[in-house]
Structure 1
Amino acid sequence: MRLKPHQQIILSLAANGRTDAQIGELLGVGPSAVTRHLTAIYRKLGATNRAHAVALGLITGELTAEDVQPTGT
């Protein structure tokens, strides 16, 4: 099952270390809305947490290497 476009954006932001509050601020929603979206993403991917969702997103092609920015640069 494919993620919806807004779910891919949220997962990409989470993959880049953004908190729920930061993602919410960028998207104009509250952090609890982001948490609900992430829970739905975890369910769709079969993930147990944020890092697992990112790994599964990369494996399934929901995320690409370009979606994940290197840190410390």
Structure 2
Amino acid sequence: LGEIREISGSLRVVRSYPLVSLMFLRNLHTIGGRENDNKGQSLYIFNNPNLELLWNWSNHGNIIVEKGKLFVHFNPK
């Protein structure tokens, strides 16, 4: 997973209790948002009770979302 650079569709992270970060996707730079099935949401991060941080932005750099919306909700940490 660490070698993935681009996702043509959407990225969903839902109820993933063990996850504390998304740093395992260390080379991800583009989310295309094509053919998403999340009501137009290309990046959907919902109800992950142990998620503390997405990426280490100082090392990772920006992520481009080409099409669609972001939805990040109920990630209490």
TM-score (norm 2): 0.29
Considering only CA atoms, is the larger Rg found in Structure 1 or Structure 2? 2
- Larger strand proportion, structure 1 or 2? 2
Please state which structure has a larger fraction of its residues in helix: 1
Q: TM-score if structure 1 supplies the norm length?
A: 0.30
